[in-house]
Structure 1
Amino acid sequence: MGLGIPAPQPMRAVDHPAIRRLSQSLGRHAEPELWGSGECQLVIKNLDGQLLGWSRAHWWEPADATAPAGYYLAGIEVARGCRHRGVGRSLTEARLDWIAQRASSAWCVVNAQNAASLALHRSLGFEEGARAAQLGTVVFSGGSGVLLSKDLAPSRSAAKAQV
Structure 2
Amino acid sequence: MPGQDDRPGVRVRPATQDDLDAVADVERRARRGTDRDQLVLALTDPERVVVVATVDGVVVGWGKTHWWSYEDGPAPVGHYLGGVTVDPDFRRGGVGGTLTRARMDWVAGRAGFVCCVVNATNVASLALHEGLGFREVARAASFHTIRFTGGSGVLLRADLGAGRA
What TM-score does the superposition give when structure 1 sets the normalisation length?
0.87
Shift of 1:110: 0.5
Q: Which runs of 5+ in 1 are unaligned?
A: 155-163
- Structure 1 segments (4+ residues) deviating >3 Å: none
Question: 1:42 is matched with which residue: 42, 51, 58?
Answer: 51
CA distance change for structure 1 residues 12 and 68 in 2, over 3 Å: closer, same or farther? same
Where 2:10 maps in the other structure, the secondary structure is coil
Where 1:141 maps in the other structure, the secondary structure is coil
Q: Which runs of 5+ in 2 are unaligned?
A: none
Shift of 1:125: 0.7
Shift of 1:33: 2.2
* Structure with greater Cα Rg: 1
CA distance change for structure 1 residues 130 and 122 in 2, over 3 Å: closer, same or farther? same
What TM-score does the superposition give when structure 2 sets the normalisation length?
0.86
Which residue is 2:40 aligned to?
33
Amino acid at match of 1:114: N
1: CA distance, partners of 2:153 / 2:9 = 30
Question: 2:72 is matched with which residue: 64, 89, 100?
Answer: 64
Shift of 1:71: 0.6
Q: CA RMSD in A?
A: 1.6
Shift of 1:36: 4.7
